[in-house]
Amino acid sequence: MAQNSNQIQVQSQQQLQTLSPLQILVVKLLELPTVELEDRVKSELLDNPALEEGKEETPENVADELSNSEDEGDTSYNALDDYRSDDDIPDYRLQEHNYSRNDRMEEIPFSDTTSFYETLKDQLSEHDLDEHQRQLADYLIGSLDDDGLLRKPLDALVDELLIYMGVDTTVQELEYVLQVIQQFDPAGIGARDLQECLLIQIRRKAQTPEGKQDSLLPLEEKIISSFYKEFTTKHWDKICQQLGVSEEQCQQAIKEITRLNPRPGASMGEAIGKNLQQITPDFIVDIDDEGNVSFSLNNPNLPELRLNPDFSRQLKEQTGSSVKQTRDQKEAALFLKQKIDAAQGFIDAIRQRQTTMTNVMKAIIELQHSFFQEGDEALLKPMILKDVAERAKLDISTVSRVCNSKYAQTPYGIFPLRYFFTEGFVKQNGEEMSSREVKKVLKELIDKEDKHHPLTDDELTRMMEDKGYPMARRTVAKYRMQLNIPVARMRRE
């Protein structure tokens, strides 16, 4: 028996805002810094035969080209025929003029230093391990961070070895191999945290002839093994009382502990180097003798782009012919049009990116003109994304994308664009200034304090108010934390 439905279908119109493919491409390109943009352009040149390096054709260029071809014969390159050939790479991609005008052929220097991994591998060869254990040791060495410490738990490494390498092992086997690695130099390599790192160094020192005669080493080991939390929070008095030793002995032991190396991997020269990063500025800011500030986009290796003229000519021939086209001819024409549209869209997106980048940097320089003239951090004015967006007549999200991971080279150094954005602060006299200047004053007070009796946040609040910077204690604490300055007790010497 059919059931009556009370549902009614209603037609309604809605306005939905969607991004066009070109807008999506522009957004993606805006997020790329200079080096990644150059790689993206090179990739597009290889993927799309309708796109090539060179200046766009003007009527004068076309006339010259036709004149030369009449004199020298028709030697033009047929892009479509080459694309259909068995060669994956067109000939013109392999010609020497494919290089940028600013490219220089230079010999690549190779480092003759031994890497972190090779150094540990050499030490591993001196130990008697079977093939399975050596495989585990290789993986453990490769899992060490830049400090030479193993931050991953062993049970997680057991899963990784099984999934990625097909090696079945146990936590106990990894523990044994890790103890072998912890015997390597420098002392502390392979520790799972700072506490274990310090203990390894103390125990290694105790095994030396000098260490066996050092009466402080047992005390140092006791402090780190039993009072590590008190040690990290500098509760010296509590440590001395619980150990039942004189303050002089306790202080001497603590002094020796602070001389140990918390980052043994960093002492191995080249080390792992995972966090090493070469910054390529996206903008170059210059100042002339009269104090005028100018800038340019730093993209000397970014080639000029144009449509492949042979693709354009072939498309005109395909679409302009009055003869009925075969299926293959229609597919060829569609292929040509798709590639040309994609190439033109990419060229337009690159241009729009350059224009947007220029407008944003121009607005930043106008708003922070005093800083760019003098280079004094105190001259930075309060500025947020909205200020730049309004001056550049852009959306805030667009400005945010431009400023993300981008750098500007100035006569005073290389700065991330985010450096020029700062909160505002109003002094007692009503003057508005950057919170960066407030932090600078706060840091100067802390730098000049008596390190035996460091200033508390309450004392810093009163001193800042005396200097004309009234603020709450929590604001002082927030700025101090942003400066990576610990509380007073941790600064006491």
453-482 pLDDT, tens digit each: 888 888 888 888 888 878 888 888 888 888
Same-domain pairing of 252 and 130: yes
H helices within 421-471, ranges in order? 435-447, 457-466
Is residue 335 domain-shared with residue 301, that is, in the same domain?
yes
In a domain, 12, yes or no: no
Based on the fold, state whether residues 236 and 258 are members of the same structural domain: yes
Pair 125, 257 in one domain: yes
CA distance to 131, 134, 145, 175, per residue, from 170 (Å): 16, 14, 22, 9
- Pairwise CA distance, residues 297 & 33, whole Å: 11
Q: Are residues 299 and 438 in the same domain?
A: no
Q: How far apart are CA 159 and CA 281, in angstroms?
A: 41
Q: Do residues 293 and 285 make contact, with C-beta atoms less than 8 angstroms apart?
A: yes
What pLDDT score does 101 carry? Answer: 42
Lowest-confidence region among 23-27, 102-106, 313-317, 371-375: 102-106
Check whether residue 256 and residue 334 sit in a common domain.
no
Residue 407 DSSP SS3: strand
d(CA 53, CA 79): 14
Averaged pLDDT for residues 88-114: 42
Q: Which of 413, 438, 472 is the last residue of a domain?
A: 413
Of 413, 433, 456, the one marking the end of a domain is 413
Listed in sequence order, the DSSP H helices in 2-58 are 21-30, 34-47
Specify if 7 maps to a domain.
no
Of 100-109, 144-153, 167-176, minimum mean pLDDT range: 100-109
CA terminus-to-terminus distance, the chain: 89
| β-sheet bridge partners, residue 293 | 287
Domain boundary among 267, 293, 319: 267
Specify the pLDDT at position 7: 65
Contact call for residues 402 and 384 (beta carbons, < 8 A): no
Domain boundaries, position 294: 283-413
Total domains in the chain come to 3
Place of tokens 């980052």: 263
Does residue 232 share a domain with residue 329? Answer: no
Determine the average pLDDT of the residues in 139-147. 85
Same domain? For 370 and 432 the reply is no
Task: Give a yes or no: residue 41 inside a domain.
Answer: no
pTM value > 0.75: no
Same domain, 140 and 252: yes
Same-domain status, 122 and 257: yes
Please, which residues have CB within 8 angstroms of residue 116's CB and are 6 or more apart in sequence?
144, 148, 265, 268, 269, 270, 271, 272, 273
CA distance 363 to 392: 6
Whether 170 maps to a domain, the answer reads yes
Of 274, 297, 303, 277, which Cα lies nearest the Cα of 285?
297
Model confidence band, residue 367 (pLDDT cutoffs 50, 70, 90) = very high
Q: What torsion, rounded to 10 degrees, do the Cα atoms 237, 238, 242, 248 define?
A: -20
Whether 418 maps to a domain, the answer reads: no
Query: Considering the domain boundaries, does residue 481 fall inside one?
Result: yes
**pLDDT, the chain, mean:** 78
Asked whether residue 254 falls in the same domain as residue 124, the answer is yes
The answer to whether position 239 is within a domain reads: yes
Query: Six-digit token pair at 75?
Result: 């030697």
Is 32 domain-assigned? Answer: no
Give the C-alpha separation, 431 to 409, whole Å.
30
Q: Tell whether 262 and 123 lie within a shared domain.
A: yes
Quote the percentage of the chain above a pLDDT of 90. Answer: 12
Check which CATH number belongs to the domain holding 480 and give it: 1.10.10.60
pLDDT tens-digit series, residues 377-400: 778 888 888 999 999 999 988 898
> What residue type is 323 in one-letter code?
V
Pair of tokens at residue 333: 């024409």
Cβ atoms 342, 317 nearer than 8 A: no
